[in-house]
Structure 1
């Protein structure tokens, strides 16, 4: 993206990144002349757009990506995992003993609003840059896509949030009077940005290889399909997902194991992804998850350990192809890494003795030093299988069961699984939901899925977690897993404290409430 994963020199001159303990909705302008210089020519405008991308995964591992990882720990797919160095702030979120002032919530919020501010600056200033009209439209489309991406992330974590749509609003003293917009208004804002981005962005095939990773028309359409799905706008979600499927821009990766393989970034299935590289000259340009997710017996930190419940879901489906590319288990070979015949999941320090295979880096692909922020690979935010399953789910709820079955079959065919084409009613719905769990496992989709999916009006998360939840009962009454049931340094009843009256959203950072003079209201129960 001229590898967008990389260099932010222009933005750091603005102190958006250096703010500490100040409201990110209330930053003083750092000099109008400086901004004029930043947008004095086409190259500077492109540099500024590139800087916005840096906030998608945060500019340091803990700002955004670790909260996404903790979100996974708060589901039936992951334990917190690291039992050698238990952290109350991490375990508290994973086990729903939530501290509202957690640095992870605060950093996630702040990083997203910094990104929104950068996008707003670009949208305010790029129209005045002397630049080719087509390129100008592309840059504006990228800024709108990324701004929509940030607001979508915020609304599904916190609910309604303040909407700031222009940098000029930051200069207005009344910024502290901003209140939370409704969830509906935030979604409407996201939809509007994405629709405009669709009309401005190139297709993936129209980008040069050096620009792969930039936002595309297909990325905006795919995100819009997901936004419709979250709002249960089934007909619109089905139509938009089908548009992406029929675009000819993407295809399912023939070999599931290649999706996260080092060197396969921006493959045929990838719709929107961030590529990581190894470049010791720069910090934080490589991946974090191979270390933070990695086994403590394999130079990792041991966070986010896959559960035996997730493994059982694969086994019940006879799904060995996806299982071996999703979960590594203590004492077993690592699929795709011939140098490891017996993996050290170190169960005495890891709740489940299991590790996320998708973010594992084979020994032959590891740089030296093998360090956080310097590991090659990619993080996929949107891929075609996700869109196909959005189509399947939306079609089901749109009373188009034939299309739902056909789309589910596309995903299952890739991994050699038969599809029961007579499935109907709730059995079909449950099969589609299970397919999402297996296909997208450990890709940080699960929490959002089980929050939004409902059975008879009840969010699925309330049936899975809580004192009577199926996951809690499995672990406390049924499981005989030799690792999980013997390493009790992480509580076996994790998730039992889940309360649907509180935990359908995370708390608004208390600092933001204080700095807004109480105009921003906290979510119920916190």
Structure 2
């Protein structure tokens, strides 16, 4: 973390629906305790400060958080890097496991998250002393606790044990120099503690005013904690926590799968934790980014993170036409849900697979003017109810509760008109649940972490998919006849062959952080 004065930039409606004017943007740094004392002198400023934490969930620009998460997906069997016309070894190298430890994207992701943690720490330190209604005070503290847990969960899954910082010191750099990496167990203990506190205080979704939708809720904290338990293989606790969300009655599956990522459906019935965006040409970077970064280069996009034919075949093997049409757009095909596009331009000469992510696509008639990065009104959903049901199914399976696992699995498949084999048992049931996670949550930035944590005979599934003998590498080099992927070799067909299980289950600690700590922070093995 570089020596950084705290910039609090309140971006309206990113994280929640907040009415604001240009005057409410804080574009001056806050330096030292006296200025913090002055700032936390009113309830309104306390709310604004917490709003500023939410800004770091997706980053305050395209390259800080969500694009590194996209790169994670490029390092799986679901996505290619995609853009074959613009050489970017800092992107394609990560996707191909030819990893440069000093990549800008690792550094930005780390820095973005620690700035978010710093903002949360300041909130947790200062808000208890603000003259404010107790109910609001406690809620803001709980929101900050949830967000700090969110940031640390991202960090520990990406880098392993990381420095734990829970207080704020305006002389930030000397404090960081004294830090060492906490153990993975210690980081998870803090995450669990923060989420448990948040759960005890946060309102249910139904208890928020419409203008506050998007703030952390009890259901969001329970969902994130269920995911933490699932990652830690604490199966019974994961099942119980997911069941709490189910039994709350606050969420349900969208009746139509296509409406989950509809630009007309912010904070839909399935959404648990969502970052909502708006379009306002007066300001930059207050709208979404993914419709551009993921969009086809033949459709005003950058062409990064394109779906693989391997993913498409996974849908086809299930006869899953409903989710396929709302997940993947293929060059030359009509775009489902956009009557104005009968022959999509996937630009296969510049796109490894000739395919584009449908979930982040905005139909032509619904595009704002201007249609550009930082102005897209399409929300991004971090946690949704289908994920809860699938976590519940997986945790139930590993808790030897197969009937419950199949019941939750069936709810997901019923929505997309797929039969569920209720006689499944053993590893066949496990594999069906894992496949369902892939199809349901495809291209939503869950796949890499799922593959890392899921194990077969004690070995991460990522090692069975990537590497010289990995199924994805063999598919592309020995089996695939896809006309786009096999002819556009601007991205190597053997992507993933360099994967090393002893190295690549974590990303490298940014070297700048190691240098800043004067060696107190150590590097992950192999980098």
- TM-score normalised by length of structure 2: 0.95
Contact 1:11–1:51 (CA<8 Å) still a contact in 2? Answer: no
Structure 1 match to 2:252: 251
**Correspondence 1:58-457 to 2 at 5 A:** 58-168=59-169, 173-457=174-458
Q: Secondary structure at the match of 1:13?
A: coil
Contact 2:226–2:239 (CA<8 Å) still a contact in 1? Answer: yes
Q: Distance in 1 between matches of 2:210 and 2:175?
A: 45
CA RMSD of aligned residues (A): 1.4
Number of equivalent positions: 512
**Unmatched runs of 5 consecutive residues or more in structure 2:** 1-10
Q: CA deviation at 1:38?
A: 1.4
Q: Distance in 1 between matches of 2:25 and 2:144?
A: 16
With over 3 angstroms needed to count, the CA separation of the structure-2 counterparts of 1:420 and 1:133, relative to structure 1, is: same
Q: CA deviation at 1:11?
A: 5.7
Q: CA deviation at 1:4?
A: 3.7
Structure 2 match to 1:52: 53
Q: Distance in 1 between matches of 2:281 and 2:142?
A: 32
Contact 1:42–1:129 (CA<8 Å) still a contact in 2? Answer: yes
Q: CA deviation at 1:282?
A: 1.5
Q: Secondary structure at the match of 2:382?
A: strand
Structure 1 match to 2:3: none
**What does the per-residue CA deviation read over 1:331-388, in whole Å, with 9 as the maximum and x for residues that have no partner?**
0000000000000001111000000000001001111211100011110000000010
**What does the per-residue CA deviation read over 1:200-252, in whole Å, with 9 as the maximum and x for residues that have no partner?**
11110001111100000000000000000000000000000000011010000
Contact 1:10–1:51 (CA<8 Å) still a contact in 2? Answer: no
Q: Distance in 2 between matches of 1:169 and 1:34?
A: 11
Q: Distance in 1 between matches of 2:152 and 2:307?
A: 29
Q: CA deviation at 1:33?
A: 1.7
Q: Distance in 1 between matches of 2:119 and 2:25?
A: 11
Q: CA deviation at 1:14?
A: 2.9
Contact 2:13–2:278 (CA<8 Å) still a contact in 1? Answer: no
Q: Secondary structure at the match of 1:276?
A: coil
Structure 2 match to 1:468: 469
With over 3 angstroms needed to count, the CA separation of the structure-2 counterparts of 1:378 and 1:519, relative to structure 1, is: same
2:13 corresponds to which of 3, 28, 34? 3
**What does the per-residue CA deviation read over 1:153-190, in whole Å, with 9 as the maximum and x for residues that have no partner?**
00000000000011149669454121000011101100
1:14 maps to 2:21: no
Structure 2 match to 1:25: none
Contact 2:14–2:286 (CA<8 Å) still a contact in 1? Answer: no
Q: CA deviation at 1:481?
A: 0.4
**What does the per-residue CA deviation read over 1:408-445, in whole Å, with 9 as the maximum and x for residues that have no partner?**
00100111100000000000000000000000000000
Q: Distance in 2 between matches of 1:467 and 1:182?
A: 31
Q: Secondary structure at the match of 2:132?
A: coil
Contact 1:169–1:175 (CA<8 Å) still a contact in 2? Answer: no
Q: Distance in 2 between matches of 1:42 and 1:169?
A: 22
**What does the per-residue CA deviation read over 1:231-287, in whole Å, with 9 as the maximum and x for residues that have no partner?**
000000000000001101000000000001002011100000001110111211111
**What does the per-residue CA deviation read over 1:98-155, in whole Å, with 9 as the maximum and x for residues that have no partner?**
0000000000000000000000000000000011101100000000000000000000
Contact 2:12–2:286 (CA<8 Å) still a contact in 1? Answer: no
Contact 2:42–2:130 (CA<8 Å) still a contact in 1? Answer: yes
Q: Distance in 2 between matches of 1:361 and 1:151?
A: 32
Q: Distance in 2 between matches of 1:404 and 1:81?
A: 36
**Unmatched runs of 5 consecutive residues or more in structure 1:** 16-29
Q: Secondary structure at the match of 1:298?
A: coil
With over 3 angstroms needed to count, the CA separation of the structure-2 counterparts of 1:300 and 1:2, relative to structure 1, is: closer
- TM-score normalised by length of structure 1: 0.96
**What does the per-residue CA deviation read over 1:299-342, in whole Å, with 9 as the maximum and x for residues that have no partner?**
11110110000000000000000000000000000000000000
Contact 1:158–1:506 (CA<8 Å) still a contact in 2? Answer: yes
Contact 2:281–2:370 (CA<8 Å) still a contact in 1? Answer: no
